[in-house]
Amino acid sequence: MARSLSELTQGYEQTVEEVVGHGVFHEDCSEMVIVRDIEFYSLCEHHLLPFYGRVHVGYIPDGKIIGLSKIPRIVDVFARRLQVQERMTADIAGAIQEVLAPKGVGVIAYAHHLCMMMRGVQKQNSSAMTSCLLGCFRDDARTRSEFLGLVPNA
């Protein structure tokens, strides 16, 4: 059990800087970049029960891009901690913002929470959706609409 818990919370042992490494590149690109359907598994910090789902991450570069495989690694840094979905979503967006300083970032997370399914309210078909929109994803309705139209609803 100790080894399992250590693996499930390995995000505490990692930093965004470590997982990104040399994966940021200068590029004159200004079109939206989206990595969809990044699966994740996390543990609810309130009940120590799993929650799991998918994350969609988009950004609009401003002179820098990130290696596509680095985005799921950033998701795992935050998902592999005792967590709440709301904070995890904001942390992922904040990390992309800090690493790239893009024109905007959007993160959408969909998850099933065993703390809602197995105990308490016991609603097996429920799910939660959270979002964090920064920069032009928050301020520009057209950019926000484009992003939300390109990511799946669940």
pLDDT at 148 over 90: yes
135 vs 4: which has the higher pLDDT = 135
Average pLDDT of the segment spanning 37-41? 98
* Residue of 18, 27, 39, 46 with catalytic role: 46
Flag the least confident range among 3-12, 54-63, 83-92.
3-12
Among 55, 62, 1, 69, residue whose Cα is nearest residue 26: 62
Non-local CB neighbours of 135 within 8 Å, separated by 6+ positions: 60, 97, 102, 103, 104, 105
Between CA 5 and CA 141 the distance in angstroms is 42
* Residue of 47, 97, 112, 146 with catalytic role: 47
Average pLDDT of the segment spanning 7-36? 95
The answer to whether residue 132 is catalytic is no
pLDDT digits (tens, 9 = 90+) for 100-146: 999 999 999 999 999 888 888 888 888 999 999 999 999 999 999 99
Confidence band of 154 (pLDDT split at 50, 70, 90): low
* Residue of 17, 18, 39, 45 with catalytic role: 45
The answer to whether residue 14 is catalytic is no
* Residue of 83, 113, 132, 136 with catalytic role: 113
pLDDT at 50 over 80: yes
Query: Could you say which of 3.30.230.10, 3.30.1130.10, 3.30.465.10, 3.30.930.10 is the CATH number of the domain covering 2-150?
Result: 3.30.1130.10
Between CA 149 and CA 14 the distance in angstroms is 33
* Residue of 14, 97, 112, 115 with catalytic role: 115
The answer to whether residue 113 is catalytic is yes
